[in-house]
Structure 1
Amino acid sequence: MSQLSEDILYLIFKILKDDKRTLYSCLLTNRTWCRTAVPILWKNPWKLKDSGWKQMLNVIISHLSNESRNILKNICIWILVSIDYIILKFTNKESNSILTNEIINLFINGSRKFTHLYIPYNFNFQIHLIPEVRSCLSCNANINDDIVAGLADICKSIKKLELFINDDNYGIIRLIEAQQNLFNLDLKMHQGKPYTKVLASFINLKVLELDCGSDTWECLGNLSLPYLQILRTKNVPIKGLISLIENTKGYLIEIKIDDTYHYIPDNKRIIQVIYQKCPNLIYLKLILRNDNILEFENLLVNCQNLTGLYILTNVPIGDYTIVVDRKFNWDKLFEILNISSPKSLFKFKFKFDNFFISPKLISLKLFFDNWKDRHSIYLQLSQMEGDIENLIVEKYKPGIVKRFNNMILNDEFEWI
């Protein structure tokens, strides 16, 4: 292994890009392994900002001149702050421009191969004037609008943008319109209304994440994202989501709708829109109202590629949880899942924070007993009372239920 060429090593290390522990070990093997692994480990150095920022800060300090080190030493921030704080603190201080320039040039120069650039809140350094800034960008838009507009002139191949928008920034619009390869957008709008000018720029967008507590989403009614494949939303009113899905052209494969309370007619309507406009759907997360369980059967029949299903029976609103139905007919839901589920469907999550609307053991038992000649189930539940784990282990595992967890810990299916 120690004699492998650098090209082969690079291909191997690239597969291990998310296994930081193994890559760190590779650094210690020999000089060739170290030289090959370092660019992969540091391709996106800001991933270390939360878990390993002290180590990253020490590496950065080791590359600074004695003059810059003395500046840091004199203000006693060797291990107290992160690198973005250092840059922000001295960006507008002429006396410390040497330190700022050294740190910026350390990361942005012709020999670096970074693919990510995170711009912190209120950043005011004229980064767009540095010729080498041409990498993929993950951008916080609460920065000087001129900087964002300047980046639009030199960055044309951004693939992913994370934007925190409070205003209808002309710089953000220019940056978006300039992109040729944008496929993933994460929009967070903390206050005010969303702006049609921004959203209308994403004609070829494939991934959209919306997170907003505002009720003023009328602009979604006229928004057309025909090639959208993944839609993840929080706190977005249901009528706007219905219109957004209606304006797609059948490419949606994942829909996640979180923290959105809606009444029975709107719940029925969004179920209908999904099975009418999303025949290739693979993963779905949504609230299901008790009165619309029969309508949900049509979705199962029409979405024959469905693999994962996450059913919510309540909605978290701030510090509270709203139970949308006082009773939920789990027997009926399990019945139509047994009868009408596509053959591809085998991953289930059911969330119920209220004990009184959780399924009973007898209902789950009937569900398992009728799951015949199908892919073994991967199942996660909100914690429910009753000896469900022993029931599954003794009678249904591994033939009917292959994997089981009696407490939902996150929103994603990790069982691939």
Structure 2
Amino acid sequence: MENIFNNLNDEIYSLYSCALVSRHWCKMAVPILWQDPFSSARRPFFISKYFSSLGEDEKFILKKDLEKYGINEEFSNTIFEYAKFLKVLNLWNLENKVRKWIFFKLSYAKMNHIINLLIKLFIESGATLHKLDLNFQVCLELKPVIFYALEENKQFFSRIQHLCLGKIITLEVLLHY
């Protein structure tokens, strides 16, 4: 099995599928998936998985630094210590992935803030929706102020005639691609 998985080292999606088969296959596939993560064409969302292995002081400092830029990152516990699986490190690729991760996080945080401001404006302006389409690209984080505003304008949803619940792709799903 180990030889088969090692021959799949460039087949990220195949290895990912193997990792979902069983615990045993997962324990064999994950180290191969994480031996050269910066050289692959996969998206940079995996960067945040490494943060769970940081010390508590490092996590605290990093969290404060990220919050200054509007990035609210949670350091969730992971099953594996992904950093120990690293076999190939190209600093140019590392820098490139981190830059893309930061750009995505900054853009996402700013986009979420702007969307929340606009939704709040729409609610507070006294708008009454006739159609609502809940299809969007990434997981939208609605702030509590949106729900407080909805309590004040009960008419906002009162005239909806068409409600569309499209396929919603969450950030969690995107992390696996």
For this structure pair, what is the TM-score category when the shorter chain's length is used for normalisation? 0.3 to 0.5
Higher helix share: 2
Relative contact order: is structure 1 or structure 2 higher (C-alpha 8 Å, sep ≥ 6)?
A: 2
Structure of larger gyration radius: 1
Give the strand-richer structure, 1 or 2: 1
